[in-house]
Amino acid sequence: MTAATADATGRSSVSESERPIRRPQLVAPAGSLAALRMALQHGADAVYLGLRDATNARNFGGLNFSEDDIRKGVAEAHARGAEVLFAINTFAQMGQVERWHHAVDAAAGLGADAVIMADAGLIAYAARRHPSLRIHLSVQGSATHADAIELMRQQFGIRRVVLPRVLSVPQIARLARQTDVELEVFGFGSLCVMAEGRCLLSSYATGDSPNNKGVCSPAHAVRWDERDGTMDARLSGILIDSYAPGEPAGYPTLCKGRFTVEGERGYVLEEPTSLNAVSLLPSLIDMGIAAIKIEGRQRSPRYVADVVGVLRAAIDDACRDPRRFVPRQEWQATLGRHAEGDQVTQGAYDRPWR
Ligand code: SF4
């Protein structure tokens, strides 16, 4: 027998003890075929990937897929019962929209299970040209409330939304009660301070931003200079950071640069850190989150293998017995090793000051 109650929105719900557990899909980053294979071997339910061009918000040199590689990746994923989500998550540029249309047509033609998109005009194109193609609203679409999500569902039939990393756990729980669109949230990976999809910081230094070129520090603008063992990182000639001999160096972005202000040198905007939501898995599972995403298509196949392995084990444990779930020490140690700046946070999920 099910104990039915009504929540604050008036929708009926079943008691916590009797609600069936919905296992969230584990969505892993694939910046290369090697990373895709690691993700599949270590238990990903889906991988996300993109082309080697500005249609892809991880448009880093030496990464990403040709159409031939995507064909192979789709075949290998499907052979293991996994899905391929095709990211076309930048915003089309005036006069170049055909490039983005071509990416959407390629996703449909290559057998991708869904496209991850942010630009409303491109989403309309995908919905019109490929009505059976699943559309996921990218985190770059910045949909943080039910009205925005419902509008996209009504207009374009989006099936899932990747939530921006600015919402707290109670806010996500409220959203989960307010919409039937599937919710995907980040479980692990690098954080940055932008309101997702809205950062133009790098445009001031390079002319390029994540939204139009898919990368916030384009490789052509990055320069590394070594002098007396110190490594300087510059973006379009602007000194972003200096690393002492032996100090690990991150990819230089303006937001995570160390600058001197009022005589003190330090991280002025943001310290490098990674989101780690493993301890929140029981809450996320309880609210019916459809997918847990790992950030990091720019990271190595080793990162993908390790982080997918941990998240696979953690999601399985949390689904088996959510009330007794405790993150294992070895998981946290592995995730800590792959964290930016060697430190982790729960970011906006947990806001102790509110
Ligand atoms: S400049 Fe920083 S805040 Fe902006 S998109 Fe790049 S990493 Fe994120």
Reported as a single tens digit per residue, the pLDDT across 120-165 is: 999 999 999 999 999 999 999 999 999 999 999 999 999 999 999 9
CB atoms within 10 A of CB 5: 10
CA separation for the pair 294, 283 (Å, rounded)? 17
Rounded to the nearest angstrom, the distance between the alpha carbon of 188 and the centre of ligand 1 is 17
Length of the chain: 354
Q: Are 163 and 172 in contact (CB under 8 A)?
A: yes
Structure tokens given for 233: 């990182």
Rounded to the nearest angstrom, the distance between the alpha carbon of 269 and the centre of ligand 1 is 10
pLDDT on residue 5: 40
Q: Is the dihedral of CA 227, 233, 239, 240 positive or negative?
A: negative
Strand locations in the chain, DSSP E?
A: 4-6, 12-14, 25-29, 46-49, 83-88, 114-117, 134-137, 160-162, 182-190, 222-227, 230-235, 238-243, 258-261, 264-267, 274-276, 291-294, 344-345
Query: Alpha carbon 236 to chain centroid distance?
Result: 27
pLDDT on residue 354: 59
pLDDT on residue 197: 66
| Domains, the chain | 4-191+273-349 (3.20.20.70), 218-267 (no CATH)
Q: Are 141 and 184 in contact (CB under 8 A)?
A: no
Query: Alpha carbon 44 to chain centroid distance?
Result: 14
pLDDT on residue 284: 97
Question: What is the maximum span of the chain, computed from C-alpha positions, in angstroms?
Answer: 73
Exposure string for 57-91, b = 16+ CB within 10 A, e = fewer? bbbbeebbbeeebbeebbebbeeeebbbbbbbbbb
pLDDT on residue 106: 98
- What are the residue ranges in the chain where pLDDT is below 50? 1-16
Rounded to the nearest angstrom, the distance between the alpha carbon of 134 and the centre of ligand 1 is 28
Rounded to the nearest angstrom, the distance between the alpha carbon of 17 and the centre of ligand 1 is 42
Structure tokens given for 288: 């019916």
Tell which atom from ligand 1 comes closest to the C-alpha of 216. Answer: 6
What Rg value do the Cα atoms of the chain yield, rounded? Answer: 21
pLDDT on residue 279: 96
Residues having CB within 6 Å of any atom of ligand 1? 192-194, 199, 201-202, 210, 216, 253-255
CA dihedral 317, 322, 326, 330 (to 10 degrees): 20
Annotated binding site: 192, 199, 216, 255
